[in-house]
């Protein structure tokens, strides 16, 4: 863990020439990766406490910015901004629910700065949707490239591996519904964002917000196992799973339950 | 009771303004091109100042050592309580707040020292080098028990208490058919102005000092600053610059004392501009209020008895708290309604919870939230329509006010109610199934102009011709976004028959005429009254000189565009008059006392009254309990409109501010520490949260009314909160008594009702 400083002027900004060099620098100096900084910067300002060293990421590095169709689905560069994401034709084709969600994320100015990977690392609005899509992280590590599921990435979030891109499966034939509960209409931190994906014969659920980003495997399993359960039983199961993974506010759990029910109907789970 | 509907109704539309449309000034304002205090960076020799704030909410101050800070690079002055030349105290009502703390800090953010340096970074570095030793003291963080805690000042934590009584309230309750008892809580709202507190103090080279700052009363500030700086008032000048919002939050002194002391010490201009974090922490807030209300009526819905017991948390220092308490209680007597007997009391207490003071609405809107909620509850208990219950209890124009004082309305309250009942929002379909539940609700509010209660309240202005032939009009008011300058320009243009472009309005200069504070919705009333006295004087002086210069009879000369006219022809331009006339005689001053009710030895409450009915439509998310306010329809009765864009801006802007107080805004405290310090946590409404709004003007003032123009700076916020909570109840069946509305409370209520169904 690198030490911290109390003045912004004391922060040392390293500017590596490549992704591999960035990883090396982060390992050597203990630096924090920085791109749009739309989330980190206010946190540092608030606490008056900055990392001693920042490793500035460069969106011009190959594969770090832009969106491409690939055999395995859609590959999104980690430093693609949220604004680019919301406007890209491939997103409108593959994930029409995403641009609507992005309208609720921050304001236009922040969306032009904030990056996809930054939002995921902060457990932001994209986390629930990307978790429910089984997104994979394409990483640049000390030992070369590596691929890891986003869910696994959250578990091992303390490493120095650098996200180069995020791969989403081809979801064009899937039914996807996502909803956000914020404190106000727009430009609000998420209290709870819930995503529900009906991909063929499987249903996937994920949530992010005040309780942190989580897939909900127990509830998913109950929904996918073919056994009919009463609404009350299903609600209890979800509430229990949410509570066990950090969602302590019972009213928020109730809201999530109701959002899940609504989204399940949206994706035609009852069909 | 008035039964005929006589008043004219106009729906305001900024685009339909027929007198020159939106002005250059308005565009400059919208585009941020006005000169604000923050922009004063090119003053020669300017130093940057910063204030050291207390880390503790309550502690003994054992040691303040500035030795290291004084030696820091770029530092020109470091000051503490020892360096205050005069009185180390300030406060508009009670001077209980130290410029710099001496032996005790009373809130997290109390000022301890200040530094002036070449750069802001150097000033901040020097602040960090000041060593402060504290001995923490027990916190007074709960206003409800503050009076039982050790005092934060010399005597008890009860700063003020007041009580208004009318009739035998116990006997009246005994006769009630229905009684409603409820507790109401309103939040610690932050002004959240675009431009934080700031400005520059400039030594004038002769021992005096000039302040160019964002403030609300330059003349009043001169008195306090002169005492602090130990200067004669004549050596202190305050220029109240256009500032990016104030709303009461710049009524009290903010950075001026520290900037002034630093400037005198360094002998150079010093700018202090609070950062957003610092503004959140140290800035003024709206008083949180906890009020217990008990209201009863007979079986027909006639209000018989009303009892209020309120506690207002003023924080560590008084500021305008005592006046806020008075206005809260005035509104808690339910000024619009006839109640047989009441007992309304309130206590204002010191705590370590920051500082609360003036804020648009000034306590009135907090009381109106509770009063209007009580009326809805009574109607519900009786099974009556809430609007009908209001109708039978509304005062007529001939009745005295709720404190038996003479009042002057601009329309009959029942006419306002009738107009509100005709709002198209009532006819929209109510969604009772599906995700979004919709509902429409309404509330009424009354609001007075002026400082009220017999407080000294007067103001003046001046008009002159400049050497270049322009018409210069001066008032002491500050422009913090309400665009009072434009209202003055329009009124003068109309009075002189000249173009708006010929007039220069100069505001907020303490060397100019004293117009009193820019607060209490008093500016428009005084501008109108002063101009009514001043313009005839000036016109007479101008025509007299014009008669001499042109040879025409004075009686046949008239004012018109660009100068003086004779039989429809311009015979002398203002420039020619300025070049050839005696300019020193082409000046007129006038002043007046703020209108109070005639025949009162000790005026009570406010004489000039305004009214508003706000009809709200909301959509409540059945899944989560979140609330969208989709429409607000305001019917206002505030006299004549002299500047439609300004009127609209005030009503709509205040309403959105009230919407924020209702739905999202609060500065929660934990152990006397503020839990929000930036606008990413403290959430004000954005454009996406702002509803569609319609503003109707209902006016019944006769042509010869001496006070046809009223101030609307606060009217728009008065009834918003109860209108929204009434609409929420219509949509969900759940009534909210604590603001801001907690979506969780709504969700639980909706869920409970669904389970019952």
Report the distance separating Cα A165 and Cα A1, nearest Å.
Answer: 25
For residue B35, what pLDDT is reported?
Answer: 84
For residue B481, what pLDDT is reported?
Answer: 83
For residue A158, what pLDDT is reported?
Answer: 57
Burial class (CB in 10 A: 0-12, 13-18, 19+), B722: buried
Q: In a 3-state reduction of DSSP, which class is residue B121? A: helix
Do A258 and B622 make contact, defined as CB atoms within 8 angstroms? yes
CB of B630 less than 8 A from some CB of A: no
Higher pLDDT, A270 or B390: B390
CA distance A104 to chain B (A): 10
CA distance B481 to chain A (A): 24
Q: Which residues of A touch B664 (CB under 8 A)?
A: 183-184
B50, B124, B276, B624, best to mutate vs chain A, most A CBs in 10 Å: B624
Tens-place pLDDT, residues B618-661: 999 999 999 999 999 999 999 999 888 889 999 999 999 999 99
CA distance B689 to chain A (A): 6
B129, B680, B744, best to mutate vs chain A, most A CBs in 10 Å: B680
Q: What ipTM, to 2 d.p.?
A: 0.93
As a whole number, mean pLDDT of residues B300-326 equals 98
**Inter-chain CB pairs, A–B, below 8 Å:** 63
Higher pLDDT, A62 or B702: A62
Alpha helices in B456-514 (DSSP H): 484-496
Nearest residue in chain A measured CA to CA from B277: A46
| Domain boundary assignment for chain A | 4-56, 67-168, 175-266
For residue A155, what pLDDT is reported?
Answer: 62
For residue B347, what pLDDT is reported?
Answer: 98
Tens-place pLDDT, residues B425-436: 999 988 778 899
Do B624 and A259 make contact, defined as CB atoms within 8 angstroms? yes
The 3-state DSSP composition of chain B as helix, strand, coil percent (nearest 5) reads 30, 30, 40
- B1 pLDDT band (50/70/90 cuts)? very low
As a whole number, mean pLDDT of residues B561-578 equals 96
Nearest residue in chain B measured CA to CA from A45: B277
For residue B3, what pLDDT is reported?
Answer: 40
- B23 pLDDT band (50/70/90 cuts)? low
Tens-place pLDDT, residues B89-114: 999 999 999 999 999 999 999 999 99
CA distance B688 to chain A (A): 6
For residue B2, what pLDDT is reported?
Answer: 38
Place of tokens 């700076």: B713
The arrangement of secondary structure in B1-17+406-450+603-757, i.e. its CATH architecture, is 2-Layer Sandwich (3.30)
Do A258 and B623 make contact, defined as CB atoms within 8 angstroms? yes
For residue A43, what pLDDT is reported?
Answer: 86
- B4 pLDDT band (50/70/90 cuts)? very low
Higher pLDDT, B668 or B243: B668
Q: Write out the residue limits of the CATH 3.30.365.10 domain(s) in chain B.
A: 1-17+406-450+603-757, 458-593
As a whole number, mean pLDDT of residues B573-581 equals 97
CA-based end-to-end distance of chain B: 44
Does position B5 have pLDDT exceeding 80, yes or no? no
Report the distance separating Cα B298 and Cα B451, nearest Å.
Answer: 36
Q: Which residues of B touch A181 (CB under 8 A)?
A: 624, 626, 743
CB of B747 less than 8 A from some CB of A: yes
**Over chain B, what is the mean pLDDT?**
94
Q: Kindly give, in sequence order, each residue whose CB lies less than 8 Å from that of residue B750, ignoring residues fewer than 6 positions away.
A: B437, B620, B622, B625, B732, B733, B734
For residue B520, what pLDDT is reported?
Answer: 85
CB of B626 less than 8 A from some CB of A: yes
Residues B200, B212: contact at Cβ < 8 Å? yes
The one-character DSSP state at B595 is P
Residues A81, A36: contact at Cβ < 8 Å? yes
Number of H helices, E strands in chain A: 12, 14
- B480 pLDDT band (50/70/90 cuts)? confident
Higher pLDDT, B83 or A154: B83
**Over chain A, what is the mean pLDDT?**
91
Please state the CATH superfamily assignment of the domain spanning residues A175-266 in this structure. CO dehydrogenase flavoprotein, C-terminal domain (3.30.390.50)
Q: Which residues of A touch B663 (CB under 8 A)?
A: 184
Which fold, A67-168?
3.30.465
CATH top class, domain B458-593: alpha beta
CB of A227 less than 8 A from some CB of B: no
Do B688 and A186 make contact, defined as CB atoms within 8 angstroms? yes
B433, B623, B666, best to mutate vs chain A, most A CBs in 10 Å: B623
A6, A196, A256, A258, best to mutate vs chain B, most B CBs in 10 Å: A258
Tens-place pLDDT, residues A53-66: 999 999 999 999 99
Do A184 and B677 make contact, defined as CB atoms within 8 angstroms? no
For residue B205, what pLDDT is reported?
Answer: 94
Does position B309 have pLDDT exceeding 60, yes or no? yes
> What is the enclosing helix (H) or strand (E) of B58?
none
CA distance B158 to chain A (A): 34
Q: Which of A222-236, B485-499, B730-744 has the highest mean pLDDT?
A: B730-744
CB of B622 less than 8 A from some CB of A: yes
For residue B26, what pLDDT is reported?
Answer: 74
Nearest residue in chain A measured CA to CA from B124: A7
Do A255 and B128 make contact, defined as CB atoms within 8 angstroms? no
Tens-place pLDDT, residues B376-404: 999 999 999 999 999 999 999 999 999 99
Place of tokens 């994979």: A136
Report the distance separating Cα A55 and Cα A40, nearest Å.
Answer: 13
* β partners of residue A181: A192
CA-based end-to-end distance of chain A: 51
For residue B6, what pLDDT is reported?
Answer: 60
CB of A249 less than 8 A from some CB of B: yes
CB of A187 less than 8 A from some CB of B: yes
CA distance A79 to chain B (A): 23
As a whole number, mean pLDDT of residues B194-219 equals 96
- Indicate the angle between helix axes B743-756 and A250-266, nearest 10 degrees: 60
Does position B243 have pLDDT exceeding 90, yes or no? no
Q: Which residues of B touch A10 (CB under 8 A)?
A: none
Higher pLDDT, B458 or A7: B458
Q: Which residues of A touch B686 (CB under 8 A)?
A: 107, 184-187
Strands (E), A89-201: 136-141, 144-149, 162-168, 175-182, 190-199
Choose among B622, B680, B686: nearest Cβ to A186: B686
Report the distance separating Cα B335 and Cα B404, nearest Å.
Answer: 10
Choose among B121, B128, B747: nearest Cβ to A9: B121
Place of tokens 């946190």: A43
Q: In a 3-state reduction of DSSP, which class is residue B451? A: coil
- Quote the pTM value: 0.95
CA atoms within 13 A on the CB side of B264: 24
CA distance A232 to chain B (A): 11
């Amino acid at each position: 863990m690198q030490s911290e400083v109390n003045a912004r002027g004391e922060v040392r900004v390293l500017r590596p020439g490549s992704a591999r060099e960035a990883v090396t620098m982060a390992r050597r100096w203990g630096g924090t990766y920085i791109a749009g900084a739309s989330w980190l910067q206010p946190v540092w300002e608030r606490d008056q406490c900055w990392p001693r060293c920042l490793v500035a990421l460069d969106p011009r590095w190959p594969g770090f910015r832009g969106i491409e169709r690939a055999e395995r689905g859609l590959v999104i560069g980690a430093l693609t901004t949220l604004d680019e994401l919301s406007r890209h034709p491939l997103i409108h084709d593959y994930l029409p629910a995403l641009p609507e969600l992005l309208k609720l994320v921050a304001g236009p100015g922040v969306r032009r700065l904030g990056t996809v990977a930054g939002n995921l690392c902060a457990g932001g609005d994209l986390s629930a949707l990307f978790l429910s899509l089984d997104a994979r992280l394409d990483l640049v590590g000390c030992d070369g490239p590596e691929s890891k599921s986003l869910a696994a990435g959250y578990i091992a979030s303390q490493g120095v591996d650098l996200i180069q891109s995020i791969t989403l499966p081809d979801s064009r034939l899937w039914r996807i519904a996502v909803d956000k509960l914020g404190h106000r209409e727009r430009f609000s931190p998420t209290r709870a964002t819930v995503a529900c994906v009906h991909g063929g014969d499987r249903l996937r659920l994920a949530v992010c917000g005040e309780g942190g980003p989580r897939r909900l495997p127990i509830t998913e399993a109950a929904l996918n196992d073919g056994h009919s359960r009463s609404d009350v039983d299903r609600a209890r199961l979800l509430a229990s799973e949410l509570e066990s993974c950090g969602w302590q506010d019972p009213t928020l759990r109730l809201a999530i339950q109701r959002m899940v029910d609504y989204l399940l109907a949206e994706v035609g789970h009852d069909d | 009771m008035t039964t005929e509907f006589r008043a004219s109704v106009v729906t305001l539309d900024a685009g339909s303004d027929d007198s020159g449309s939106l002005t250059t000034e308005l565009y400059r304002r919208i585009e941020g091109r006005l000169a604000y205090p923050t922009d004063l960076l090119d003053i020669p020799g300017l130093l940057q100042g910063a204030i050291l704030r207390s880390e503790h909410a309550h502690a003994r101050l054992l040691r303040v050592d500035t030795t290291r800070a004084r030696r820091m690079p770029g530092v020109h002055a470091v000051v503490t309580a020892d360096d205050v030349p005069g009185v180390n105290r300030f406060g508009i009502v009670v001077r209980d707040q130290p410029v710099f703390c001496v032996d005790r800090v009373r809130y997290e953010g109390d000022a301890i020292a200040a530094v002036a340096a070449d750069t802001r970074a150097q000033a901040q570095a020097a602040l960090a080098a000041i060593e402060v030793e504290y001995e923490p003291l027990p916190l007074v963080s709960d206003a409800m028990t503050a009076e039982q805690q050790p005092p934060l000042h010399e005597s008890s934590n009860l700063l003020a208490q007041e009580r208004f009584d009318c009739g035998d309230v116990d006997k009246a309750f005994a006769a009630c058919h229905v009684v409603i008892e409820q507790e109401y809580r309103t939040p610690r709202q932050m002004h959240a102005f675009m431009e934080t507190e700031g400005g520059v103090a400039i030594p004038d080279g002769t021992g005096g000092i000039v302040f160019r700052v964002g403030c609300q009363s330059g003349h009043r500030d001169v008195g306090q600053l002169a005492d602090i700086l130990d200067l004669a008032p004549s050596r202190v000048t305050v220029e109240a610059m256009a500032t990016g919002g104030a709303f009461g939050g710049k009524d009290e002194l903010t950075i001026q004392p520290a900037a002034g002391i630093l400037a005198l010490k360094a002998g150079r201009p010093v700018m202090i501009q609070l950062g957003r974090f610092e503004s959140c922490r140290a800035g003024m807030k709206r008083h949180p209020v906890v009020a217990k209300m008990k209201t009863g009526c007979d079986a027909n819905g006639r209000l018989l008895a009303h009892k209020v017991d309120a506690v207002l948390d003023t924080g560590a220092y008084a500021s305008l708290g005592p006046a806020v308490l008075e206005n809260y209680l005035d509104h808690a007597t339910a000024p619009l309604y006839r109640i047989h007997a009441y007992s309304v009391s309130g206590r204002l207490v010191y705590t370590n919870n920051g500082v609360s003071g003036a804020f648009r609405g000034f306590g009135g809107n907090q009381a109106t939230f509770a009063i209007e909620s009580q009326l809805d509850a009574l109607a519900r208990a009786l099974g009556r329509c809430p609007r009908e219950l209001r109708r039978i209890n509304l005062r007529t124009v001939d009745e005295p006010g709720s404190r038996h004082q003479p009042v002057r309305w601009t329309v009959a309250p029942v006419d306002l109610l009738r107009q509100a009942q005709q709002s198209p929002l009532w006819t929209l379909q109510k969604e009772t199934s599906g995700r979004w539940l919709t509902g429409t609700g309404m509330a009424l509010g009354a609001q007075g102009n002026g400082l009220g209660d017999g407080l000294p309240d007067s103001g003046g202005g001046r008009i002159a011709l400049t050497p270049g032939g322009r018409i210069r009009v001066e008032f002491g008011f500050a422009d913090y976004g309400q665009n009072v300058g434009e209202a003055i320009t329009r009124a003068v243009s109309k009075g002189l028959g000249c173009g708006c472009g010929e007039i220069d309005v100069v505001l907020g200069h303490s060397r100019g005429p004293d117009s009193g504070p820019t607060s209490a919705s008093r500016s428009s009333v005084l501008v109108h009254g002063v101009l009514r006295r001043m313009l005839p004087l000036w016109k007479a002086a101008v025509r007299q000189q014009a008669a001499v210069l042109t040879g025409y009879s004075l009686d046949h000369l008239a004012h018109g565009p660009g100068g003086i006219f004779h039989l429809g022809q311009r015979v002398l331009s203002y420039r020619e008059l300025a070049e050839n006339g005696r300019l020193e005689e082409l000046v007129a001053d006038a002043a007046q006392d703020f209108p109070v009710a005639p025949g009162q030895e000790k005026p009570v409450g406010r004489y000039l009254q305004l009214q508003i009915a706000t009809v709200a439509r909301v959509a409540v998310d059945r899944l989560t309990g979140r609330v969208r306010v989709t429409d607000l329809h305001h019917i206002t009765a505030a006299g004549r409109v002299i500047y439609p864009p300004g009127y609209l801006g005030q009503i709509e802007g205040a309403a959105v501010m009230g919407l924020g107080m209702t739905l999202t805004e609060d500065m929660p405290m934990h152990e006397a520490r503020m839990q929000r310090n930036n606008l990413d946590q403290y959430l004000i409404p954005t454009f996406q949260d702002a509803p569609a709004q319609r503003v109707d003007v209902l006016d019944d003032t006769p042509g010869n009314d001496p006070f046809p123009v009223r101030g609307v700076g606060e009217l728009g916020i008065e009834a918003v909160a109860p209108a929204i909570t009434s609409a929420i109840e219509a949509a969900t069946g759940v009534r909210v008594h604590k603001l801001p509305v907690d979506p969780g409370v709504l969700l639980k209520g909706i869920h409970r009702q669904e389970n019952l169904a």
